[in-house]
Amino acid sequence: MDEYDLNDDERELAGMVRAFADEVVAPRSYEADRTHALPMDVVAQMGELGLFGLPFPEEYGGQGGDYFALCLAIEALGRVDQSIAITLEAGVSLGAMPVFRFGTEQQKQELLPDLLAGRALAGFGLTEPEAGSDAGATRTTARLVGAASGDGGEWVINGSKQFITNSGTPITRFVTVTAVTGENDGRKEISTIIVPNGTPGFTVEPGYDKVGWRASDTHPLTFQDARVPEGNLLGERGRGFASFLHILDEGRIAIAALSTGAAEGCLEAAVDYAAKRTVFGEALSTRQGIQFLLARMKQRVHVSRLAWHHAARLRDAGKPFKTAAAIAKLTASDAAMDNARDATQVFGGNGFMNEYSVARHYRDSKILEIGEGTSEVQLLVIARALGIA
């Protein structure tokens, strides 16, 4: 990792998480994928290592690190198990970060310690059946009632969300949902509201039967007159959509790191297999066609890592990073998908068997081109930065 200009602390963190991934996560990955079950004991160990608290200040129970440190950990996990990596990514970027960024001091003191210790998880309810890339098409509503009584009002929430990560685990504490809370000049006023799990009228539906990320916890959510206190508003009323666009920009860097890890995992597996596999009396790795394919895979990993490093450094320096994040996410998700396809080809028939990591990466990597903004959305962000869209 020296070639990427890491300091001693960053190098130590990357090495520690990589060892954890190899020794604890990888041996469980096949069975977790086969049974569609998130191993909660592994999540607990991630909490004990401080991974959920990496980019948060110590006053809330965090590790006092930065976003770059979080992404180093996500990359190391994504190399062996994308389901575990996305559990960490979503737990931080979509669960704890909105509270830290936009919550009141009371909300931070109440919610962050358990989230940052990995004792609790939270979901981020943005996507709906009719509102994916077009998140402004949100139909879920939250109506404030009783506010004029002096006893404090309540939000009455109706609607549905889909594809919500970490929303139904045994330790899920709440979900933060975007909802239409009114209109301003004929435009929807979208706000964000914290809805604790167990709230009457809030139902976490059965989990999905997914192509990939099968050990990751993902559910649709429904709200039927679900009532929460007025004080559960997160951030300024009417600023929910704008706030979460910023959260998504950060999340794209983390997904780029995860994608880079996946691309590297495919490369490592393919290099090892090609060296051991004998074809017509010679190692597969002696074939120039295979050598060139593996070289391309290495190129993709290198460029992807440089891209997310650049975006994360900009973010941590307080500089504009929106375009860099889009470039990193686009570059790295393409690399993950391409490397998964090429690694599967190197493995031949074995690559079609789920017990091999490349098969899981092949299934898992497609969502990297979709989640937290599709590749088309990233292209639109980049085009806008060029002033042509």
Condensed to tens digits (0 to 9), the pLDDT of residues 227-278 reads 999 999 999 999 887 888 888 899 999 999 999 999 999 999 999 999 999 9
Mean pLDDT over the full length of the chain: 95
Backbone angles phi, psi at 188, to 5 degrees: -65, 135
Give the pLDDT of residue 149. Answer: 56
d(CA 20, CA 323): 32
Tokens (6 digits) for 369: 């081109």
Judged by DSSP in three states, 188 sits in strand
Q: Cα–Cα distance between 35 and 58 in angstroms, integer?
A: 37
Rounded to an integer, the average pLDDT of 73-84 is 98
Shortest CA distance to 37 belongs to which of 164, 213, 161? 213
Please, which residues bridge with residue 282 across strands?
279
Q: How far apart are CA 49 and CA 200, in angstroms?
A: 35
Question: pTM of the predicted model, to two decimals?
Answer: 0.95
Three-state DSSP at 79 gives coil
Q: Has residue 295 got a pLDDT over 50?
A: yes
Q: Which of 205, 230, 372, 376 is catalytic?
A: 372
Nearest-angstrom CA–CA distance, 226 and 220: 15
Please give the Cα distance from 217 to 167 (Å, whole number): 7
CB contact burial 203-242 (16+ within 10 A = b; e otherwise): ebeebbebebbbbbbbbbbbbeebbbeeebbbbebbebbe
The whole-number average pLDDT for the span 139-167 is 89
* Termini Cα distance of the chain: 38
- The pLDDT value recorded for residue 1 is 43
Alpha-helical segments (H) within 61-205 = 67-78, 82-89, 97-102, 105-116
* CB contact set of 160 (below 8 Å; sequence gap of 6+): 128, 129, 140, 220, 221, 222, 223
What does the pLDDT look like over 328-365, one tens digit per residue? 999 999 999 999 999 999 999 999 999 999 999 999 99
The three-point CA angle 129-131-137 to 5° equals: 130
Predicted confidence (pLDDT) per residue in 88-97, tens digit: 999 999 999 9
What CA–CA distance (Å, rounded) separates 266 from 359?
9
Cα separation, 168 vs 152, in Å, equals: 29
What DSSP letter does each residue of 81-104 carry, written as one string?
-HHHHHHHHIIIIIIIHHHHHH--
Least confident range of 104-118, 213-227, 256-270, 274-288: 274-288
Please give the Cα distance from 95 to 120 (Å, whole number): 10
The reply to whether 372 belongs to the active site is yes
Phi-psi category of residue 126: left, alpha or beta, with phi > 0 → left and psi -120 to 50 → alpha: alpha
Distance CA 126, CA 107 (A): 20
